């Protein structure tokens, strides 16, 4: 009886531990979203990026700029300029919605509805802003070989790769880094 009870408890532990979530594997730069890189001529490209709906618009712009730097370096150019075309001016952040974690129970008095004191927790009930649609960013960029031929407002592609590349999994040469699994340290 004792033996069967121990086997049953061991089985329950194994089943429950199998339900535990495992951390997701880190993504490479190419897996952050959908990229497009379309050559318009030998020195001009259209770079596009579509991220998931939970991605910040600023992060998507940063990733698109990094993709432009990568494309520049991989095509043997050192500088690039983001062209001011009408499609860049019309880009807008995705539509967003505010979501509350608890329902708005309340009673009206004075200045409108108030939450019932038993349900109010200022740390638990923080509203969350979520994107309703995926974020999209695209730039038309023009490449330049050296600083002399580049305009004053051109970006240094190698400097961008050195400063931002590691954050998103790119080497200073523009190559995609393969994330290494974290090793667990046991006490």
The answer on pLDDT for 114 being more than 90 is no
Q: Per DSSP, which regions of 24-178 are E strands?
A: 34-41, 44-50, 79-82, 96-99, 106-108, 113-115, 128-131, 136-144, 155-156
| Residue that wins the pLDDT comparison between 37 and 13 | 37
Provide the pLDDT for residue 126.
Answer: 65
Give the best-scoring range by mean pLDDT among 64-73, 80-89, 107-116, 176-185.
Answer: 64-73
pLDDT tens profile 33-58: 999 999 999 999 999 999 887 788 88
In this structure, how many other beta carbons lie within 10 angstroms of the beta carbon of residue 75?
Answer: 16
Say whether both 46 and 31 belong to one domain: yes
Say whether both 153 and 79 belong to one domain: yes
Q: Is residue 183 part of a domain?
A: no
Give the best-scoring range by mean pLDDT among 7-16, 78-87, 93-102.
Answer: 78-87
Provide the pLDDT for residue 56.
Answer: 81
Q: What is the number of structural domains in the chain?
A: 2
Q: If you search the block for the tokens 């995609």, which residue do you land on?
A: 176
Instruction: Give the β-pairing of 96-99 and 128-131.
Output: antiparallel
Segment 109-118 shows an average pLDDT of 52
Say whether both 145 and 171 belong to one domain: yes
Provide the pLDDT for residue 39.
Answer: 94
Instruction: Name the residue among 126, 137, 131 with its Cα closest to residue 97.
Output: 131
Q: Is residue 7 part of a domain?
A: no
Q: Is residue 88 part of a domain?
A: yes
pLDDT tens profile 124-181: 566 666 666 778 889 999 999 999 999 999 999 999 999 999 888 899 998 988 776 6
Domain interval for residue 37: 26-95+133-177
The answer on pLDDT for 110 being more than 60 is no
Say whether both 34 and 120 belong to one domain: no
Say whether both 83 and 106 belong to one domain: no
pLDDT tens profile 65-76: 999 999 999 999
Q: Is residue 35 part of a domain?
A: yes
Say whether both 121 and 165 belong to one domain: no
Q: Is residue 2 part of a domain?
A: no
The answer on pLDDT for 62 being more than 80 is yes
Provide the pLDDT for residue 186.
Answer: 56
| Residue that wins the pLDDT comparison between 118 and 80 | 80
Is residue 168 classed as helix, strand or coil in its secondary structure?
helix
Q: Is residue 77 part of a domain?
A: yes
Instruction: Name the residue among 174, 138, 179 with its Cα closest to residue 159.
Output: 174
Question: What pTM, to 2 d.p., does this model score?
Answer: 0.65
Say whether both 34 and 69 belong to one domain: yes
């Amino acid at each position: 009886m004792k033996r069967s009870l121990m086997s049953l408890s061991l089985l329950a532990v194994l089943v429950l531990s199998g339900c535990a979530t495992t951390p997701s594997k880190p993504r490479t730069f190419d897996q952050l979203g959908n990229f497009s890189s379309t050559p318009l001529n030998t020195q001009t490209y259209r770079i596009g990026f579509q991220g998931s709906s939970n991605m910040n618009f600023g992060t998507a712009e940063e990733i698109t700029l990094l993709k432009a730097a990568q494309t520049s370096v991989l095509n043997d150019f050192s500088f690039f300029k983001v062209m001011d075309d009408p499609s860049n001016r019309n880009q807008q952040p995705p539509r967003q919605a505010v979501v509350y974690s608890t329902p708005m129970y309340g009673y009206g008095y004075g200045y409108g509805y108030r939450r019932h004191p038993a349900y109010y927790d200022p740390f638990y009930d923080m509203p969350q802003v979520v994107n309703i649609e995926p974020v999209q960013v695209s730039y038309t960029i023009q490449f330049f070989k050296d600083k002399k031929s580049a305009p004053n407002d051109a970006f240094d592609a190698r400097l961008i790769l050195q400063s931002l590349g590691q954050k998103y999994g790119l080497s200073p040469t523009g190559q995609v880094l393969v994330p290494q699994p974290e090793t667990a340290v046991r006490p």
